[in-house]
């Protein structure tokens, strides 16, 4: 299997990486790897192994898969003396890379009690030791550094997925235990719109910092004049939608969305329920009454689209939202309390925003080569783009060009609503 990393982020003629800018290579690697373990520190052993839904992966799988990625994409490619930790792991912890061999079904990851959590931690230590040793030897290998940067960003993606899945796992328990005592909240923000004139805009990643292949190349796009509402749709606004019969009015819904509502008896955002006549929601810090001024979260594309239509507006397309994000520097450097259990911090607009754009390649899109070509491109079908970032997104993992994507009915991620209108 040839991973062919020469096409990794080479749109400017050379691999892009920024590992040495703030930390040494080993410090940067160790920091990202340690953060995954820190996120798992509040868990009990039993929490690591369950899979309450097919789209959820057990936390121990995330810890192993991100390790497999470094083993497969770096150690097996650049370390001539490397011997894999366990031959079975290639099948168990390969997510979807067909060119790397067969893999275990995602929906059946929770069926496996072995390898144990302790064995997964041993696997991580083994790979970390070998990779750090390799870095000392190959410090000037630009091809290795490019794949390493991708691997670190890949692990950061899984750190967000870890929190999504941990929330789903804990919420399945009758006791709905808290993951952390720390929590985030958002201050009241007055309604305000930002206007943008008609014209030709440039979107897509630019510069020498890291970006995925699906964020490139930067290109021009014509947009009619539009406005974006700066403040997120709040829980209070969404309760008004519910009380107005939003979930029972087929005229507000896309056809597939209405079928989804009817077939699944959807009547509120995910994790919402009524207790003594008051809306509550499960959060990572336990069950709390729904806070009126905080952004509504865990809504599907169908719900976001129906709400926007009910409100008399629309969802932005991704180019509009990228342009808006470029003027919102606080959105690209948010703070999270999730890695600091003894400190609660404020967070503004920390939800991913649905856009009305299908997930498709940009003009001139060039996917990675070899196995890494399966990273993004093959998912460009039947999914919608989300932009921004959320409270679970790792620090430093935000940028205006970042393209997240999910199927329109999915809502276990931290997804919210941003409104747009034509001027």
CB atoms within 10 A of CB 423: 11
pTM assigned to the model:
0.92
Residue 187: the pLDDT is 76
Rg (CA), the chain: 22
Provide the pLDDT confidence category of residue 338 given band limits of 50, 70 and 90: low
Q: Write the pLDDT tens digit of every residue in 163-189.
A: 999 999 999 999 999 999 877 667 788
Residue 84: the pLDDT is 97
Residue 335: the pLDDT is 47
The yes-or-no verdict on residue 19 having pLDDT over 90 is no
Residue 340: the pLDDT is 45
Residue 190: the pLDDT is 87
Rounded Cα distance between 149 and 115, Å, is 28
Q: Write the pLDDT tens digit of every residue in 314-325.
A: 999 999 999 999
The fold for domain 184-422 equals 3.90.1580
Residue 137: the pLDDT is 87
Residue 138: the pLDDT is 77
Q: Write the pLDDT tens digit of every residue in 63-81.
A: 999 999 999 999 999 999 9
The yes-or-no verdict on residue 386 having pLDDT over 90 is yes
Mean pLDDT of the 358-372 span: 95
The yes-or-no verdict on residue 225 having pLDDT over 80 is yes
Per the model's pLDDT, the better-predicted residue between 56 and 343 turns out to be: 56
Residue 15: the pLDDT is 38
Q: Write the pLDDT tens digit of every residue in 228-239.
A: 999 999 999 999
Per the model's pLDDT, the better-predicted residue between 210 and 333 turns out to be: 210
The yes-or-no verdict on residue 155 having pLDDT over 80 is yes
Spell out the domain ranges in the chain.
Answer: 5-172, 184-422
Beta bridge partners of 286: 283
Provide the pLDDT confidence category of residue 33 given band limits of 50, 70 and 90: very high
The yes-or-no verdict on residue 273 having pLDDT over 50 is yes
| Long-range contacts, 373-379 (Cβ 8 Å, 24+) | 373/99, 374/96, 374/97, 374/98, 374/99, 375/150, 375/212, 375/213, 376/212, 376/213, 376/214, 377/213, 377/214, 379/405
Closest CA to 183 of 283, 282, 270, 289: 283
Q: Are 85 and 123 in contact (CB under 8 A)?
A: yes
Q: Residue 299: helix, strand or coil by DSSP?
A: coil
Residue 6: the pLDDT is 41
The yes-or-no verdict on residue 341 having pLDDT over 70 is no
Provide the pLDDT confidence category of residue 328 given band limits of 50, 70 and 90: confident
Provide the pLDDT confidence category of residue 346 given band limits of 50, 70 and 90: very low
Question: CB burial class (10 A; 0-12, 13-18, 19+) of residue 128?
Answer: middle
């Amino acid at each position: 299997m040839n991973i062919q990393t020469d096409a990794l982020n080479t749109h400017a003629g050379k691999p892009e990486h920024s590992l040495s800018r703030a930390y040494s290579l080993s410090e940067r690697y160790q920091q990202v790897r340690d953060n995954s373990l820190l996120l798992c520190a509040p868990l009990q052993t039993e929490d690591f192994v369950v899979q309450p839904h097919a789209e959820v992966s057990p936390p121990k799988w995330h810890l192993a898969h991100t390790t497999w990625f470094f083993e497969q994409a770096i150690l097996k490619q650049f370390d001539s003396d490397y011997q894999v930790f366990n031959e079975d792991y290639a099948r168990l912890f390969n997510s979807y890379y067909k060119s790397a061999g067969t893999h275990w079904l995602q929906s059946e990851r929770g069926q496996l009690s072995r390898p144990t959590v302790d064995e997964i931690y041993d696997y991580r230590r083994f790979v970390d030791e070998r990779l750090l040793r390799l870095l000392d030897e190959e410090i000037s290998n630009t091809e290795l550094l490019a794949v390493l940067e991708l691997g670190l960003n890949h692990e950061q993606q899984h750190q967000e997925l870890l929190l999504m899945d941990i929330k789903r796992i804990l919420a399945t328990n009758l006791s709905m235990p808290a993951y952390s005592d720390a929590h985030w909240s958002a201050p009241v923000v007055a309604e305000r719109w930002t206007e943008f004139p008609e014209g030709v805009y440039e979107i897509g990643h630019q510069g020498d910092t890291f970006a995925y292949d699906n964020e490139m190349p930067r290109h021009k796009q014509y947009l009619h004049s539009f406005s974006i509402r700066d403040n997120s749709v709040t829980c209070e606004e969404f309760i008004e939608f519910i009380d107005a019969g939003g979930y029972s009015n087929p005229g507000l819904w896309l056809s597939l969305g209405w079928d989804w509502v009817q077939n699944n008896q959807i009547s509120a955002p995910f994790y919402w329920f009524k207790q003594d006549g008051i809306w509550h929601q499960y959060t990572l810090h336990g069950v709390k009454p729904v806070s009126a001024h905080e952004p509504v979260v865990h809504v599907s594309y169908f719900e976001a689209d129906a709400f926007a239509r009910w409100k008399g507006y629309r969802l932005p397309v991704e180019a509009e939202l990228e342009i808006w994000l470029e003027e919102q520097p606080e959105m690209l450097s948010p703070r999270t309390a999730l890695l600091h259990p003894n400190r609660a911090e404020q967070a503004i607009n920390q939800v991913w925003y649905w856009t009305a754009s299908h997930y498709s390649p940009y003009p001139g899109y060039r996917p990675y080569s070899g196995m890494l070509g399966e990273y993004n491109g093959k998912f460009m079908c039947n999914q919608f783009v989300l932009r921004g970032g959320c409270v679970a997104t790792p620090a430093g993992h935000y940028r205006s060009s970042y393209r997240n994507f999910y199927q329109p009915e999915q809502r276990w991620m931290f997804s919210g609503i941003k409104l747009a209108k034509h001027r």
